[in-house]
Amino acid sequence: MGKLVFGVDVGGTTVKLGLFTEGGQLLSDWEIPTRKEENGKYIVDDIAQSIKERIEQDNIAEDDVAGIGIGVPGPVTPGGVVKGCVNLGWGDTAIEETLSDKTGYPVKAGNDANVAALGELWQGGGKGEDSLIMITLGTGVGGGIIVDGKIQTGTHGAAGEIGHMPVVYDETETCNCGRKGCLEQVASATGIVKEAKKLLAANDMPSSLRNYEDLTAKDIFEEAKAGDVLALKTVDILGNYLGIALGHLSCIVDPDVYIVGGGVSKAGQFLIDVIKKFYTDRAFPACKNTPIRLATLGNSAGIYGAAKLAIDNAK
């Protein structure tokens, strides 16, 4: 079986953990609660304790563990310091050193979105490729950039913040980041609903969307698939702005493949086809045929990517 590694994905509600072989086989996975009380002071201790319990439970020899990888919801410096995680209550935290001290194993950390992208490259929708850009469409819009198998973090840890790429130049509302016109404002699940409500208010066009008391992105895609004209217009707005964003990225990174994940990606190939339609019009000519695929690892992408961090760190 060779050496084993642990992959850890720290979320706001739960911490996901996985035990992997160096070849990428997931042997077991589990979750523990994310205890955010007292500014998240218990989170690292809980992770260390859970890993120790799994080692004992599975009778794993200490020498068989090559290391631990961990993804966290915040920027991480090359030296392994988390530069604050607001939703965990953390300020600057030396996550690699702290978790290593508590477990006795080498630790490598990364931003959770970047780590998920690495997981998709390693064992998911981008398997077999050298580079990818992953975009996650959920409550917000996240992303990760992998080039030659390596996460691109940028000088300030902001590389891959695709959701805050300015694309809507006449936007009047303010994004959560404090600016206006971010991709997240129109391409997230909440952004899609916002755009649909704008269309509903702007005209009297008959639409099944008017029948929903609490409209969701899922509702909009289901009605679009059924042929509702206003729902289709809403989806086209999403596709247009994603096409603009990926078109910009094609000129800068020119990846092997784009991977689309997050809750909105449950719309499936229908969503991919809409993005492709607009991307083809926006992309640099040499990049028009870059594949756009759905993510395949789902909520496990983070632990896969974290495990790959540990494997690479052990080399």
For 37, the 3-state DSSP assignment is helix
Whether residue 12 has pLDDT greater than 90: no
pTM value is 0.90
pLDDT, residue 2, reads 65
Per residue in 28-72, pLDDT (tens digit) is: 999 999 999 999 999 999 999 999 999 999 999 989 999 999 999
Q: Rounded distance, CA 313 to CA 301, Å?
A: 18
DSSP symbols for 48-99: HHHHHHHHHHTT--GGGEEEEEEEESS-B-TTS-EEEETTTTEEEE-HHHHH
pLDDT tens digits, residue range 237-267? 999 999 999 999 999 999 999 999 999 999 9
CA-CA distances (angstroms) from residue 207 to 25, 72, 187, 198, 267?
A: 47, 41, 21, 13, 19
